[in-house]
Amino acid sequence: MPAFQTDPTNYVSAEDYLRMEREAECKHEYFEGVIRAMAGASYAHNRICTNLTVEIGSQLRGKNCSAVGSDQRLQILSGSAYVYPDLTVVCGQPEFNKERKSLIRCSTPRCW
């Protein structure tokens, strides 16, 4: 079996995706059985993400929330998906899946 399927008609289970992602050299996102390689971002995109992380992080200082960058995988519980958002705000105690690799719950109480 190749490391990652490029044909979207081949369903891949979430468990197989997580196993393959552990061994992968680059990041991939997963949505309802389909795996997609993530493209590299431009310099301008990375500057925008950094500026947002710094600005939002400073607004969260002293609150029960923190900003996390794009290396944190996020499991979307309302659908079968694993993504790497450019920026995630976590309020309260973060919850992780059983592997402790994917953040599974991002609450958004009024922490601003």
pLDDT in tens, 53-94: 999 999 999 999 999 988 899 988 777 889 999 999 988 888
pTM of the model: 0.75
Per-residue buried b or exposed e for 46-62, using 16+ beta carbons within 10 Å of the residue's own CB: eeebeeebeeebeebee
Q: What is the mean pLDDT of the chain?
A: 82
- Position 56 scores a pLDDT of 94
Cβ atoms of 103 and 68 within 8 Å: the answer is yes
80: burial class by Cβ within 10 Å (0-12, 13-18, 19+)? middle
Kind and range of the H or E element at 105? strand 102-105
Q: First CA to last CA across the chain, in angstroms?
A: 47
Residue 2, pLDDT > 50, answer: no
pLDDT in tens, 35-48: 999 888 899 999 99
Specify which residues 37 forms β-bridges with. Answer: 28
Closest CA to 106 of 92, 26, 97: 92
